[in-house]
Amino acid sequence: MLPYGRQSIDEDDIDAVAQTLRSDYLTTGPQVAAFEKALCEATGAAHAIVCGNGTQALHLAMLALDLKEGDAVVVPTLTFLATANAVRYCGADVIFCDVSPDTGLMEDVHLEEALERAGDKTVRAIVPVHLKGQCVDSAAIKAAADRHDLRMVIDTCHALGSTYGDHKAGSCDHEDMAAFSFHPVKTIAMGEGGAVTTNNPVWAEKMARLRTHGMRKTPDMAPWVYDMPELGYNYRASDIHCALGVSQMKKLDAFVEKRRALAALYTSLLEPFAPVITPPARLNYCNPAWHLYAVQIDFAALGIDRAALMTRLMEKDVGTQVHYIPVHQQPYYTDRYGSLDLPGAQHYYDRTLSLPLFPAMEEKDVRYVVEMLSGIAGIKG
């Protein structure tokens, strides 16, 4: 069975976790700091705050901005639920924006349209999404954000190892903060894990405090004393998870190289099937780590709907997935904000399908997926 994504765990990963299990620290120990240091080295950011998952990372970033009821944040609708939900956790409103129909990525023009639609709402921040490994044009969006005095947090959960221009995803060269996920299907796996990177020491200290109930301890306090100046959460990542993360980070470059090679093979094999099946649209400023390989398919031209195609592929041991249903269409958000017409996101969603992609795949696996896809679709290159 070839799922759309899968972790790659070796004996050295298992040994790293086992060594931590035999140590004195299962949580709040040295592996936490070791992972944060490794993530800073991989991204170039000054600070990293590790937490339990990507959703917590997004929430911590929103908390660092002091979002509250009455504020609003622009979020692209083509993303996972957590990107928008983190805004709502703080009581702020979500202003959904459209995306490119070709790439699924938010652009500066989409920000401007969303701000116009926001009317007199107090928009304080934007959360662009690096989607499937491809990066938004951070410089262009940052320039638009600066014109409106907005903070920018990038959802980087798909893009560890990606680069754009001379920048690494998560470097915070343009954004104020970047949120990561280390779910098993991501570039590296912690089982569950997340982190925020930033170059702002004040935000870093605040997020580190908020992930541990908001507790603060200063050198002048007695050994048992701490205080809690604001409400926090239990968002810690354990040393067990971080030990796996540290081991996986050592393989980041190899994982990224393999993903790029597999994606390149997919593209070469699928190009003859255009325009019915189209490889992901490439952006000339970005070198993606390819968290996902999502093709665009003209299902009407094929004469088969997406559900039927996915079912038939599954019968051939090829797992696929759809990333994502536009979030503004979810009942919670339609009940709150009503219906929206975001045609770029709708066009992308209607045609997208994520094919299997993970480092343990071999060239023969990619060829098999393409053979099964083209055979079921009844098209020849």
d(CA 134, CA 76) in angstroms, rounded, equals 15
Task: Work out whether strand 93-97 and strand 71-76 pair parallel, antiparallel, or are unpaired.
Answer: parallel
Choosing from 132, 186, 206, 258, which is the catalytic residue? 186
Whether 186 is catalytic is yes
Say which DSSP state 291 is in: S
Strand ranges for the chain from DSSP E? 47-51, 71-76, 93-97, 122-126, 151-155, 163-164, 167-168, 177-181, 194-198, 277-278, 286-287, 293-297, 352-355
DSSP 86-101: HHHHTTPEEEEE---T
Say which DSSP state 237 is in: P
Sign of CA dihedral 330, 333, 336, 340: negative
Q: Which two tokens stand for residue 339?
A: 């219906």
Contact 60, 211 (CB under 8 A): yes
Q: Which residues are catalytic?
A: 186
